[in-house]
Amino acid sequence: MTSQMRAEIGEQPDALGRTVGALLPRLPEVAELARDTRQVLFIARGSSDNAAVYGRYLVEAHTGRLSTLAAPSIATAYKRRVDLSGVLAVAISQSGKTEEIVETLDWAAAGGARTVAVTNGAGSPLAEAAEVALITDAGAEIAVPATKTYTTQLAALSVLALGLGADVAVDDLRRVPDEVARLIALTEASPALEQIVEALAQVPGAVVSGRGIAFGTALELALKIKEACYLHAMGLSYADLLHGPIAVVDEQTPALLVAADSGPTLPGTVALARRVEGAGAHAFGVGGGEGLAEACTAALPGPALPEWVAPLGLIVPGQILVENLARRLGVDPDVPRGLNKVTQTD
C-alpha cells in the first residue's frame, strides 16, 4: 500500500514547477525590497530551519552578503530589542501559522529589518505580516513529515538568492522539476535502495554528514530518520564530525554522506567515506557522483544539477530511503508518534 508520504514525494516535480513558475516573475520585487539591506537573517524552526541553512550558505556563497540564523527566543522569551537596520529578515514556515515565527518576524520589523515570508500558507498570519510573501505552491501536504513543502521552500530561497544578485544561472533552477522526476525513478530502480534500507534496519542509528550548501540536506535527512523511523540520527558538518564525533562511527553506527556531484566540498566528502570504510564501518552515499559511490558500501544517485541548486533534488533520494525504512521497521511514516503538522513553541 502506498503511503501518503510516498504519494507526496511523487508530487514534488509538479509542485516545484508551479512554485518556480510563480516566483521567478517576482525577482524585481525581491531586489527592490533588499536594495538598502546588507545582510540576511533567517527565522525558522524544524524542517524550515534546515531550509534556512541552505539559504544561508547559498546567500553567502553566491551573493556576498553575510547571513545568519535567528534565535527566536531572543524575541519571544528574552524580549530584547536588537538593531536590525540594514537587515533583510526572511521567515520560513510551511503553514505560516507558527506563532513564534510570526512574532519573531514582527520583532525583526520593529528592529528596523525589511521582511520576507516563505510559506505554503497563502493568507496565513506569516504571509500577512511580511512586506513580501513568497508563497510556495506545494498544495496540501497531509503526511506529517515535510517533503514537497520542504523542497518548494528551497525553490523559494533559490529565487530569493537570485533576487539578491546571485552569480548563478536561472536556467539551472528551471531544470529542477524534470531532474527531480528523473531522480525519483532512478532511486526507486536502484539496487542500493534496498541494501541501505536493510542495513539501517539492523542498527540503532546513524551519523548523517555533508558540508557547505549540502549541509542543510544532511540535517534534514537526519531529522527525517528520527521523526519517521525512530532511529537516532546525528546531523553534522563533516568538518565538525572530524573534530571528535567520528569516534561514534562503527559497525553499529554507519555514516550517511550527502554531496552534490560537483563543488568544493565533494573531495572532502569522498575522503570521509574512505576513512569510514577504512575503519571497518559502512559509509552510504547520497549523490556525490561516481567518486562518492566508489568510496562507499552503497550509494543512491544524486541530481545532475550544479551545486547551488542541487539540494532541491539531493534530499529526494533521502526522502524515499526514509519512507522505505519506516515501512521496513513497521512504522507508519505518515503519522509519526507525538508529532502534528503545525508545531507551536513558547
The pLDDT assigned to 346 comes to 54
> Pick from 174, 203, 233: which residue ends a domain?
174
Residue 342 lies in a domain: no
Domain boundary among 108, 142, 174: 174
Residue 90's pLDDT band, with cuts at 50, 70 and 90, is: very high
Helix, strand, coil shares, percent, the chain, to 5: 50, 15, 35
Residues 8 and 103 occupy one common structural domain: yes
Would residue 26 count as lying in a domain?
A: yes
Residues 157 and 286 in one domain: no
Based on the fold, state whether residues 322 and 223 are members of the same structural domain.
yes
Domain extent for 197: 178-328
**Does 14 lie in the same domain as 64?**
yes
SS3 275: helix
Q: Are residues 140 and 224 in the same domain?
A: no
pLDDT band with cut points at 50, 70 and 90 for residue 2: confident
Q: Which three cell numbers stand for residue 247?
A: 569516534
Mean pLDDT of 149-155: 98
How large is the average pLDDT for residues 173-179?
98
- pLDDT confidence of residue 341: 45
| DSSP string for residues in 169-212 | -HHHHHTHHHHHHHHHHHHHH-HHHHHHHHHHTTSSEEEEEE-G
State residue 124's pLDDT score: 97
Write the pLDDT tens digit of every residue in 214-238: 999 999 999 999 999 999 999 988 7
- Lowest-pLDDT range, 49-58, 102-111, 169-178, 241-250? 241-250
Grade residue 337 by pLDDT with cuts at 50, 70 and 90.
low
CB 165 within 8 A of CB 63: yes
> Which residues sit opposite 258 in a β-bridge?
286
Q: Is 343 contained in some domain?
A: no
Q: Which of 79, 97, 224, 341 is catalytic?
A: 341
Residue-level pLDDT at 172: 98
Is residue 165, in this structure, part of any structural domain at all? yes
CB 116 within 8 A of CB 160: yes
Q: Is the pLDDT of residue 244 over 60?
A: no
Residues 190, 253, single domain; the answer is: yes
d(CA 302, CA 284): 13
Average pLDDT over residues 121-134: 97
Res 241: pLDDT: 72
Considering the domain architecture, whether residues 280 and 170 belong to the same structural domain is answered as no
Q: What is the CATH number of the domain that holds 130?
A: 3.40.50.10490
pLDDT value for 336: 79
% pLDDT > 90, the chain: 88
Place of cell 520593529: 110
Q: In this structure, are 9 and 115 located in the same domain?
A: yes
The mean per-residue pLDDT over the stretch 11-37 comes to 97
Do 166 and 29 belong together in one domain? yes
Q: Does 54 reside within a domain? A: yes
Active site residue 341: yes
pLDDT of residue 339: 53
> Would you say residue 154 lies in a domain?
yes
Query: For residue 336, is it within any domain?
Result: no
Of residues 264 and 345, the one with the higher pLDDT is 264
Task: Tell me how many domains the chain contains.
Answer: 2
Task: Tell whether the model's pLDDT for residue 22 goes beyond 90.
Answer: yes
pLDDT in tens, 36-87: 999 999 999 999 999 999 999 999 999 999 999 999 999 999 999 999 999 9
- Cell 548523517 locates to 208
Is residue 207 within 8 Å of 241, Cβ to Cβ? Answer: yes
The yes-or-no verdict on residue 247 having pLDDT over 90 is: no
